[in-house]
A and B are shown apart, each in its own frame.
Chain A
């Protein structure tokens, strides 16, 4: 019943958002949560193809295997893909190394998300965030109202009772919809296992070229990663618990090469998955701040 309940709730959310949207879009970040969300959308609208496009905000710094997986899933689903890169950022040479993760995230992720949303006039935007990820996310609504400019104000959130979602908005306002709100990391993995959902191979342990940065292993995914003096890539058996921009995503040493092994490892994990994301560790309330500015 557990999965039926979770799945049924998510499908209800996806259908409800779609039924009330003028111009919906699904944010697709290629990671495991996006993969589950996409799968749920396909189930929600079966036998129809999900009637909205996928939006991938491309920082140009994603893992190569993520791009390959994205293209494969677009072909398989028959959905339309919109990719957007903040060309102003590219022209200014913004990268995760010289500009620091905060500025980089702001320009290449937050701004790069807001721009296509405005450009295409999307009013309802699906995102794969979960409440168990982080404390300020735990207070997020399933249908999250955003004022013009995509700003999130935690003090003026609409009350959300039962499964009655208020989808009324005015011009310039938007709603972020989070169908996976009530899923945990373990739920995601068990569901991927149960439904045989394809995921990026980077989640599986494999020998990869990495360098040690702080507490994390950073993968040398292409030749753009500047090596610090004395730093030489070494081959380690690693996997990723979360996927993002490769220079900012830490791998963990692991021998889990199958889904079963990943689930076993997740179940007995002693650190949270977001630890692999360097951008969260800046300050205690950094996620709340980023969300207020329009980040997912």
Chain B
């Protein structure tokens, strides 16, 4: 690199600002010469300083694997364990620049037990350099690397056939490898594969062609990296910006901060906030150097809106005309990264753009064999394994399929106890057809309230003699529902009589009024979206019919807790039957007041023969959410 004079600086600077950055990943094992290739790229783009070169010379003598030659791999294997063992353990990021481009290289290990590291490096890369040892050709590991790269959404691939010096620069060897790769890579739908024969150790076709492979007429690796077209046209996509933080330095300013995931925006742009669905217009794009006229994909901005609308972290500001989907159930590809396996049904924290939700895998559809793509049936997913799964979130999120937008379709899974990052995933599509429901700012009603709770509200009405087991079953049912994340409340006869119905006695009139009030309260609770459990003797058919009439069809579940009088009297948990028999308690149902058994209850539980667990299971079947 030539010396620069100060007057070149403005020129240099404009050159730097116009330069694009290409992020790419190198895949291959240490035997393929991956670290050597990166070391060579750094060296040839003059990124290695003299003091680093001196250190390299001494380290090459200590740990080098290339005899008398410099071991460029030592430039990139940064951790002591890696230098000692001669392998790459973790993802390292390397930087170099040429006159045309700036590069960030993710250098990742190639062994199967490091699949997660490769996926990590690939997640931010636009291009992959796949290394193949010319002597060995396309191996299982090459197929694995190609599959992971494709899965992570990389569409540009350079097939670097390395160690051509070991096969006498034979064109036929190169052509055979290229053809092998082409055939098996068909399903990956790479936009373009550029195959390059090279020698990383000696430098042929890395930055200059050399004269040993005159038969090859394509670009050198560096030529290719400098000129390859990466993702374009992202700014013509509809606007999406996940809100990262709301800036409120004073009561007069509310700025919505975030990084634009796609599209462009300017003052006056009509936008919508999802999932709430409220509309507004962009007022200003506020920036340190003065308000902006326009902002686009990849920029971190602060927007103000024309209207005072509720926006918080995790919402997404989108173009009004072309909003994305909102859903809570997905089919997704998941890569597992933890030593503790993925277990369906277990709850994990899930982070997608700036939204954190609780999620569980409802079904593992199949595991993908990373080496050959075969689909395998499994129960749990172990570290470095990949599967296609169904996921359920505890709240709806704004998303795009990963293939359309990585920011809006990629997610990580975090263990709820250890807080380790245990998995990474990519949304394939939403399972529920929520995509057609474009969320509007609705009036708040029973539907919206229960939708927020992700449940259908019910009134589950337990009727039966005192001591028949109503409260036991209702309590157990509530525990089960609560554990499933459903919102419940129990109205119990005894408790209500201590408060709301304190003024009522046990005459027939009072008993009717007792039921009327409880039924009305239950109705309000169902309107609030709750699953309401009413546990009252409620001996009269008419009152139960009245109660049923307050609810919509299907909302009222009458549960007859049936136990013979002798059995209830034998249990007599509250000692009431004994009192009634002694005449100390008047109008006691079953003794001196009638109990009218329901004729057609939704559930008829015989507690003498069925355990409380069985009873609860039967009720759960009745209110199971329909899929």
* A168-B349, A263-B12, A270-B49 given; A159·B120 CB < 8 A: yes
Which residues of chain B have C-beta atoms less than 8 A from A181's C-beta?
93
Shortest distance from the beta carbon of B173 to any chain A beta carbon, whole Å: 34
Contact of A166 among B2, B4, B351 (CB under 8 A): B351
Kindly state the separation between the CA atoms of A285 and B55 in the bound complex, as whole angstroms. Answer: 11
- Which residues, 59 to 104 on B, are CB-close (under 8 Å) to A? 59, 75-81, 83, 89-95, 97, 102, 104
Dominant secondary structure of chain B at its interface with chain A: mixed
B9 touches A138 (CB 8 A): no
Q: Which of B1, B52, B302, B410 contacts A46 (CB 8 A)?
A: B302
Q: How far is the CB of B426 from chain A (nearest CB, A)?
A: 10
CB under 8 Å from chain A, chain B span 284-314? 286-288, 298-300, 302, 313
- With a cutoff of 8 Å between Cβ atoms, the chain A residues found around residue B5 in the complex are 264
Residue of A nearest to B417 (CB): A170
Set A136, A139, A186, A190: member contacting B91, Cβ < 8 A: A139
Number of A-B contacts (CB under 8 A): 196
Q: Which of A48, A157, A162 has the most CB of B within 10 A?
A: A162
Q: Is the CB of B286 within 8 A of A46?
A: yes
Instruction: Determine how close the nearest CB of chain A comes to the CB of B39; give it in whole angstroms.
Output: 11
A98 interface contact, C-beta 8 A: no
With A2-B18, A46-B288, A159-B424: A8-B247 Cβ-Cβ less than 8 Å: no
Q: Which residue of A lies closest to B413 (CB)?
A: A166
Q: Say if the beta carbon of A272 comes within 8 Å of chain B.
A: yes
A1 with B245: CB separation less than 8 A: no
Residues 230 to 259 of chain B near chain A (Cβ within 8 Å)? 244-245, 247-249, 253, 255, 257, 259
A19 cross-chain contacts in B, Cβ below 8 A: 244-245, 313, 354
Measured CB to CB, the nearest residue on chain B to A257 is B6
Q: Please, which residue of chain A has its CB at the minimum distance from the CB of B302?
A: A46
**Complex Cα gap A194–B16 (Å):** 11
Residues of chain B within 8 A of A169, CB atoms compared: 419
Given A46-B287, A162-B123, A272-B52, is A2 in contact with B76 using a C-beta cutoff of 8 Å? no
Taking the closest CB of chain B, its distance from the CB of A126, in whole angstroms, is 15
Per the CB 8 Å criterion, the residue count for chain A at the interface is 68
Say yes or no: is A62 at the interface (Cβ < 8 Å to chain B). Answer: no
Complexed CA–CA distance, A169 and B420 (Å): 9
Residues of chain B at interface, number, CB under 8 A: 80
* B-facing residues in A122-159 (Cβ within 8 Å): 131-132, 134-139, 154-155, 157-159
Query: Quick one: which of B52, B245, B248, B298 contacts A5, CB cutoff 8 A?
Result: B298
Is A103 located at the chain interface by the 8 A CB criterion? Answer: no
Q: Is A7 an interface residue (CB 8 A)?
A: yes
Give the distance to chain B from A215, nearest Cβ to Cβ, in Å. Answer: 9
With a cutoff of 8 Å between Cβ atoms, the chain B residues found around residue A18 in the complex are: 245
> Could you tell me the distance between the alpha carbons of A137 and B93 in the complex, rounded to whole angstroms?
9
Q: Tell yes or no: A45 within 8 A of B by CB.
A: yes
- Does A43 sit at the interface, judged by CB under 8 A? yes
B271, chain A: closest CB distance, angstroms:
20
Task: Give CA–CA (A132, B75) in the complex, Å.
Answer: 12
Decide if A284 is an interface residue (CB 8 Å cutoff): yes
Q: Does B21 contact A (CB under 8 A)?
A: yes
Q: Is the CB of B17 within 8 A of A1?
A: yes
Contact A159 B20 (CB under 8 A): no
Q: Compute how far the CA of A263 lies from the CA of B16 in the bound complex, rounded to whole angstroms.
A: 12
- Cβ of A260 within 8 Å of any chain B Cβ, yes or no, is yes
A253 within 8 A of B: no
Complex: A128 Cα to B345 Cα, angstroms: 41
Tell me if B8 is interfacial: C-beta within 8 Å of chain A: yes
B584 at the interface (CB under 8 A from A): no
Do the beta carbons of B17 and A264 come within 8 Å of each other?
no
How many whole Å from B400's CB to the nearest CB in chain A?
A: 13
- Residues of chain A with a CB closer than 8 A to B40's CB: none
Assembly CA distance A137 to B249 (angstroms) = 35
Q: In whole angstroms, how far apart are the Cα atoms of A169 and B299 in the complex?
A: 29
